[in-house]
């Protein structure tokens, strides 16, 4: 089942890391709601913030149903990240983006994911979301578990202009998509462009 179905990115996220979605649809972990979402249509992956109270109950439900659990839009510390990975979270949604910042003494979930051989890291290689040197570092740390993702917004492949994402207006300019408050709002990236960008960084 892992290869088909929707990727449900949210709504169980902290508001400060949620990004562009309407704040009304950013919710605390709710097992009954999760079950309704899973029963509504095929779901292959769910992104949630594992540090939220009640999140592990959702992780257990998803693992039991064979749905891939991804940590993303998260303020998780390294310790919280390792607890989540041990519980069954197997990937992270767009590494470094919408995550707690990493420092030498607070590696956070991003560095913890790179340090774990059992965690797949998803990276947006549009060279805006993650700097080239950071992309190369991540690939060298996780070459066999490095997954390209586009995080594509409606602007993907459409050029500059205004679009709507989740009921909110976003704007694309010079390949960068931003929301109403100026934050990154997905990307204009296509997968073939992501492959070309990674190849252009010397990754073979």
Cα dihedral 189/193/197/200 (nearest 10): -160
End-to-end, the C-alpha distance of the chain in Å comes to 30
**Neighbour-count burial of 171, counting CB atoms closer than 10 A to its CB (0-12 exposed, 13-18 middle, 19+ buried):** middle
| Residue 43: closest CA among 53, 29, 54, 58 | 58
Q: Is 151 a catalytic residue?
A: yes
- Give the dihedral sign, CA 76/81/83/87: positive
Q: How far apart are CA 25 and CA 84, in angstroms?
A: 23
Query: 86, 151, 160, 174: which one is catalytic?
Result: 151
Distance CA 176, CA 80 (A): 32
Question: How far apart, in whole angstroms, are the C-alpha atoms of residue 47 and residue 12?
Answer: 8
Q: Which residues are catalytic?
A: 151
């Amino acid at each position: 089942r892992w290869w088909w179905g929707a990727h449900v990115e949210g709504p169980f996220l902290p508001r400060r890391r949620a990004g562009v979605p309407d704040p009304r649809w950013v919710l605390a972990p709710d097992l009954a709601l999760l079950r309704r979402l899973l029963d509504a249509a095929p779901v292959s992956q769910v992104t949630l913030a594992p540090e939220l109270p009640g999140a592990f109950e959702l992780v257990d439900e998803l693992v039991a149903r064979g749905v891939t659990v991804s940590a993303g839009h998260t303020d998780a510390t390294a310790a919280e990240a390792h607890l989540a990975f041990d519980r069954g979270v197997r990937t992270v949604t767009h590494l470094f983006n919408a995550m707690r910042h990493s420092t030498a003494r607070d590696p956070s979930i991003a560095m913890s994911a790179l340090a774990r051989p059992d965690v797949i890291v998803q990276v947006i290689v549009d060279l805006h979301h993650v700097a080239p040197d950071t992309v190369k570092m991540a690939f060298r740390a996780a070459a066999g578990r490095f997954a390209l993702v586009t995080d594509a917004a409606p602007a993907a492949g459409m050029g500059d202009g205004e679009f709507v994402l989740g009921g909110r207006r976003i704007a694309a300019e010079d390949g960068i998509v931003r929301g109403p408050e100026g934050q990154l709002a997905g990307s204009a990236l296509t997968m073939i462009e992501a492959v070309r960008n990674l190849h252009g960084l010397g990754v073979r």
